[in-house]
Each structure stands twice: as structure tokens, then as C-alpha cells.
Amino acid sequence: MSSKEAILQKIKQNQPKEVNELPNLEPLKETNLDVLDQYKTVLKSIGGDFVEVSNYVEIIDFVRQNFDTNKRILTTLTELSEVANLDWSDDDPHSLEDAELILVKAHFGVAENSALWVTDDLMGQRVSTFIPQYLAIAVNKNDIVAKMHHAYDRIGNQEYGFGTFIAGPSKTADIEQSLVLGAHGARGLTVFLMD
Amino acid sequence: MKNNISHSEAAEIFNKDVERVNWHDETLWFVREKRDRSAHQIPEWELLRETASQIKLNVLSNIHDYLVEFEANAQKNGIIVHWAANAEEHNVIVHSILEKHNVKQMVKSKSMLTEECHLNDYLTERGIDVIDSDLGERIVQLRKEPPSHIVLPAIHLKKEDVSETFYEHLGTEKGNIDPQYLTESARHHLRDIFLTRKAALTGVNFAVAETGEFVVCTNEGNADMGAHLADVHIACMGFEKLIPQRKHLGVFLRLLARSATGQPITTFSSHFKKPREGKEIHIVIVDNGRSVQLGREDFRNSLKCIRCGACMNTCPVYRRSGGHSYHNAVAGPIGSILAPNLDMKKNADLPFASTLCGSCTNVCPVKIDIHDQLYKWRQVLVQEGYTPKVKTIAMKTMATVLANPMVFDIAGKTGRFAMKNLSGLVNNKLNKWYDQREMPEVPEESFREWYKKNGKATKRKNDE
């Protein structure tokens, strides 16, 4: 007998005889959060930053003022081509290691934990939201949902190869519980909250 | 891993450095308090725990079908699925994947399952260079120690220790104890690793039967750096990591980080569904005693565990004895339930490493009855004869004394006499009770003697 068969057989023998019903998730969705306000507060508290912008031009201006544009800046957003390179999705992912800033868009954000849902079709490359020195993500203000239950309602049965919730910059507290931003991934996360 | 001395002996050694024990205690309590603040911000926290517990109950009662469903969906997504009955088979599978790809170096993100299976040793012996990429794991790996905590692997170390370790292995400045500086040094060191490894191994936090995807949660992004830069991604999971549907992730992702560190969610909660084009994802589904635990009705609920570590942070024994004293990959209260299932003889001491105060049960995000299970393990272990002889004899003697009024009376008199007149006989190192406390002052007479004299008179008085 293969290990698979042996394991499954043993499990079938040992699992409870009656199946327990799955609980209803609906009551967990009740909320009276001010979603945008909550989103901003939580993002700040976990080391992220936000900028409210009304269009892509304002993002371009912000990048010019706050980042070294002589360094490698990459994006998947055609609207930002003035300030960032668009032609890298077929590059060897290792070559992204010298990216100073990568800008992508999120499907939506979650107020209770400030996480942003990004899938590989928005990333250009899967490693792009992890490897740059700094990361910036744009999201529409009216695409902020209250809680994770609403987030999974939004995701539904969306198809993707890879998707991730990103909440703030890469961080660690493994050395005596001192919080340090920028462990392996981005040292900073700027969220562009768009009208 | 030290496994030749018992928890209490190891704890005694740990307790010699009083200052460090106090610091360890306070550090973990600080994390526990962060958990409280985070949980209290969610008005429906208790409903959330109850819901999670019920989802896991459903999983355990139907895990056979969910596993079959998961495998079929994962395969449909292009993921290669393996099954391992035990630790040895798990290690063989991982090694064979590396051999097939001719990989001699692998980068790993945190996985307590691979600790449980002693994968690093297995691969190292076969000439494979394994580097742990979680900062805490990397620190303990350089020091050739096992992690002392499932979420905070280096929580037992001070920044001076880390500084010394990095000076020795990474060439950092001697005596520089700035966490920012030390983390930056590790960042450079590990980036080189990520960029040169062809294979990456990660753990699995949740696997979804409905979609065949799995989720890995980290704050550092190390699992993602490894997986997205390598050609081969191996993900190892105990079969209990399964959940039924994607939407159930919403429940567990709300609970996990809040319970672990007090964060609203981990920085990255990555959903791996399909491999990149031309690359491979392998999943190794591991039993290693879990199916046996599933059949132990009293201990089945321990398989609900989502490995947040909340029970350790709150445990008064863990905080004062340190993770290494548990001589098991998973330490603390939940580890003390899981360990005897793996090896009753070796881990018979662990269910006794608890005050049974119930704090662990109170913070558990999936409502495992942890302290009740520890109590139940004690009974099983005594019945199966795995507890120390001295304790068995003492208990049997006590039973005889308590069952026989005359013997009890004589024993009491002898005891009082000895404590009063021959204190050296009692107040010495051989008496385990005296070891950590002052002996009480001896009363003139026993309650029984007092009652003989006064009881009847008092009763008459009350009756009047």
C-alpha cells in the first residue's frame, strides 16, 4: 500500500463518525467602521505610509520629489511610464534585486488591518512586491472593504496563480523584540489612496 | 537537541540566571499583552474564536474527503503532491526532489514541521547546504541551537548574544548591539542567499481544499523571496493544516497574527495556487503521528492548532523555564500535548510542565481545551507506566495512608514530631517539597485530635 493510501485509510478509521456542520460566517460581517479612516490609522500603526492623490499625475510628482529617479524604478501601470520603466515583466526575476522602487496597483484594501490584495496579473513578476528597496501600491479609496470576510467576498472565485495580502513594509522583531523595518523585502511601503 | 534530561532538570539550569529568567518572563508577557490589546479591539473576538473552532471541528470530522479534494485541485493547478507517513519519509521525499534537480543548496523559510522531522540534519548529512532565512531561525541556526519558540525562534537570546553570533559568523562589528545594524547585516547576507538558490522550502499555514491553494504568512517576506526566485518550491505541511474553503481564510487570518504578536495581520499572507511557468511547486503532506492523535478522542482537538504561540506567551511555566527545556520542536502547552503522541516515553515529563492554570486555554484562538488535555495526558502516562518510579511509589504510599485512618493518624504524629524535633530530616535536599519552599510551622495537635476534644461540644452547642 502506498503512503497516501495508508494515511487516508488511517484517517478515515480515526476521524469522528459524524461530520460537524460548517458555521455561518455572516454574523462576523457586521460592522460600523469608517473604513477609510480605519485604513489610514492601521496603516500608520504598522509602519506604512499613505498619500491621498486624485490622479496618476500626482503620483508621478510624488515619486519625483521623494525618490531618487536616477535609480531603477519599475511599474506595471502604463499611466506612470513617465517616471518608471514598464518593460521588465520578462526579465529574469533575479535582475530585479537592484530595483529602488516598484509601483503596482491593488485590487482592494482592508480597513481592519490595512492589507492590500495584489495578484500576479498586477505584479508583473511575483517577486516584484518583495524584492525592491521600496514598494508603492495604488488603490482606489472606494475599493477599501471593512474586514477580511468582505475581502474574501470580493475575491470570490477569482482566478490567479499567486496572490498576496500586503500590510506594511517587510519587518522583523527577532532581535530582542525591537521592531526593525526592512528585513528582506521593502524598507518602506507607500500607499496611494486614489479618488 | 537536548533530549536526555527532563523538563524540570533543564528548567532548573535555566533558572540559575535569575536576571535572564526575569527578562525572559517579562519579554513574553509583553507579547501576551500586545495580543490582549489587539483582541480587545475586535468586538466579535469570541464569536471569531468559536467560528474558527467549529470550522476546525468540521475539518477533523471530514479530513479524509478534504485531503482527497485538496490533492485533486492542487494537481489541477499544476502542483506536484507527495504523501509522507512519517518524518523519515518526509525527509527522503524532500531530498529526492533536490537530487532530481541536482540542487546542493537550499534556502528555507520557517517551518516547524521540518524541525519536527529534523530535516536540516538529514540534508546536511547528505551534503546539502540548508540556510534558514527567517532572521530568528538564522540566528539560532548559526548558533547550532534549535528554535525555542514557534513564532519567535530566538526569543531566548539578548541582542548581545546576537551581536556576538553575527560577529563570529557574518563579520559584523564586535560589540555593536544595535538591532537595526544587526538586521541590516542579516539582510545583506540573506539577499545573497536568496539570489543564488535554485530551491526554496517553506512551511504552510493553511491549505484550502476547495481551491488547491496554500497560504504562507510571514512578516519578513522571506518565504516569498525564496519561493519566487527559485526554480523549485517545496512546501511541507502536516495534514491538519487543511481548511475547507477559501472564505474560511478570512476567519483564520484575522486570528493568527493577533494571537501571535498582536499585529492585525502578518505583513505578507501569500496564496500560492499555481507554479510560475516552467517552474515547480511540490507539496509534501505529512502524517507523522497525526492520524493516531486524530483517533485519541481526548486529544483530537490539539490538531486544531494554528501554531500562533499564544499559549506559550501566556504560560507561567514556559515563561520561566524557556523553550529549550521542552526538548521538542513545539514547546509550551500545545507542544506538551503534541509531544507525547509522537513519543510517550521520551516526552512523559512534558504534560507535567504546567500549573494547569488554564491561561493557555483562555487565549487559544481555536479554543483547544489545552489545560484539560494536559491533565488527561498525566492520567494516561501514569496508567501506561511512563512516570518516574519515585512518583509512582510515593503516590501508592499516599493512597495506602489516606485509605487507612490508623495509619494516617500514626503518619501524622510521626510527621509532626519529625518536623518539630528533627528538622534536618525534613528540611534537606532529598525532600522535593522543601526544595523550593519553606516548610510550615507544625501545629501542636492535628485537626483530628482537636475535633475529638472540641467537636462534640461545639456540635451540642450548635444543636441547642
- pLDDT digits 0-9 by tens, A68-87: 999 999 999 999 999 999 99
pLDDT at B290 over 90: yes
At A122, phi and psi to the nearest 5? -100, -10
Contact A167 B64 (CB under 8 A): no
At B320, phi and psi to the nearest 5? -105, 0
In chain A, DSSP finds a helix count (H) and a strand count (E) of 5, 11
Cross-strand pairs, B108:
B132, B201
pLDDT band for position B431 (50/70/90)?
A: confident
pLDDT at residue B197, rounded to an integer = 94
In chain A, residues with a C-beta closer than 8 Å to the C-beta of B239 are: 7, 11
Q: Give the H/E segment covering residue A110.
A: strand A108-110
Which residue is closest to B68 within chain A, CA to CA? A8
Residue B292 touches partner A, C-beta closer than 8 Å: yes
Contact B295 A13 (CB under 8 A): yes
> pLDDT exceeding 70 applies to what percent of chain B?
99
Contact B247 A25 (CB under 8 A): yes
Mutation for B interface: A12, A13, A14, most B CBs within 10 A = A14
pLDDT at residue B426, rounded to an integer = 75
Nearest CB partner across the interface for A94, out of B152, B229, B263: B229
Which residue is closest to A29 within chain B, CA to CA? B44
Size of interface A-B (CB pairs under 8 A): 245
pLDDT band for position B2 (50/70/90)?
A: very low
Residues 15 to 74 of B: which have CB under 8 A from any A CB?
Answer: 27, 30-31, 42, 44, 47-48, 50-51, 54-55, 57-58, 60-64, 67-68
Nearest CB partner across the interface for A178, out of B133, B179, B295: B179
pLDDT at residue B411, rounded to an integer = 87
Fill in the DSSP letter of residue A31: -
Q: How far apart are the first and last CA of chain B?
A: 70
Q: What is the CA radius of gyration of chain A?
A: 20
- pLDDT digits 0-9 by tens, A115-168: 999 999 999 999 999 999 999 999 999 999 999 999 999 999 999 999 999 999
Q: Determine the residue type at A131.
A: I
CA–CA separation, B381 and B401 (whole Å): 23
Contact A127 B47 (CB under 8 A): no
Residue B299 touches partner A, C-beta closer than 8 Å: no
pLDDT at residue B314, rounded to an integer = 98
CA–CA separation, B53 and B57 (whole Å): 6
* Contact (CB, 8 A) for B202 and B216: yes
Backbone torsion region of residue B322, taken as left when φ is above 0, otherwise alpha when ψ lies between -120 and 50, otherwise beta = left
In chain A, residues with a C-beta closer than 8 Å to the C-beta of B42 are: 112
Nearest CB partner across the interface for B47, out of A12, A27, A42: A27
| Minimal C-alpha gap between A132 and chain B (Å) | 11
CA–CA separation, A30 and B67 (whole Å): 32
SS3 A22: coil
* Contact (CB, 8 A) for B251 and B206: no
pLDDT band for position A184 (50/70/90)?
A: very high
CA–CA separation, B37 and B40 (whole Å): 5
Residue B216 touches partner A, C-beta closer than 8 Å: no
Cβ count near B388 (within 10 Å): 12
- pLDDT digits 0-9 by tens, B336-366: 999 999 999 999 999 999 999 999 999 999 9
Which residue is closest to A10 within chain B, CA to CA? B291
Between B179-196 and B222-229, two packed helices, what is the crossing angle to 10 degrees? 20
pLDDT at B417 over 90: no
SS3 B334: helix
In chain B, residues with a C-beta closer than 8 Å to the C-beta of A7 are: 83, 85, 239, 285, 287, 291
In chain A, residues with a C-beta closer than 8 Å to the C-beta of B27 are: 176-177
Fill in the DSSP letter of residue A85: B
* Contact (CB, 8 A) for B10 and B324: yes
Contact B247 A11 (CB under 8 A): no
pTM of the model: 0.94
Fill in the DSSP letter of residue B368: -
Nearest CB partner across the interface for B221, out of A13, A16, A170: A170
Q: Cell numbers 498582536 correspond to what residue?
A: B262
pLDDT band for position B3 (50/70/90)?
A: low
At A102, phi and psi to the nearest 5? -125, 135
pLDDT at residue B1, rounded to an integer = 43
pLDDT at residue B425, rounded to an integer = 75
User: Residues A35-59: what's their mean pLDDT?
Assistant: 98
In chain B, residues with a C-beta closer than 8 Å to the C-beta of A12 are: 64
Residue scoring higher pLDDT (A195 or B392):
A195
pLDDT at residue B449, rounded to an integer = 85
- pLDDT digits 0-9 by tens, A2-34: 999 999 999 999 999 999 999 999 999 999 989
pLDDT at B34 over 90: yes
Q: Cell numbers 551534503 correspond to what residue?
A: B127
Cross-strand pairs, B106:
B130, B199
User: Residues B265-293: what's their mean pLDDT?
Assistant: 98
Contact A14 B194 (CB under 8 A): no
- pLDDT digits 0-9 by tens, B60-105: 999 999 999 999 999 999 999 999 999 999 999 999 999 999 999 9
CA–CA separation, B200 and B207 (whole Å): 18
SS3 B215: strand
At B80, phi and psi to the nearest 5? -95, 125
pLDDT at residue B423, rounded to an integer = 76
User: Residues B106-131: what's their mean pLDDT?
Assistant: 97
**Averaged confidence pLDDT in chain B:** 94
> pLDDT exceeding 90 applies to what percent of chain A?
99
Q: Give the H/E segment covering residue A191.
A: strand A188-194
Residue B284 touches partner A, C-beta closer than 8 Å: no
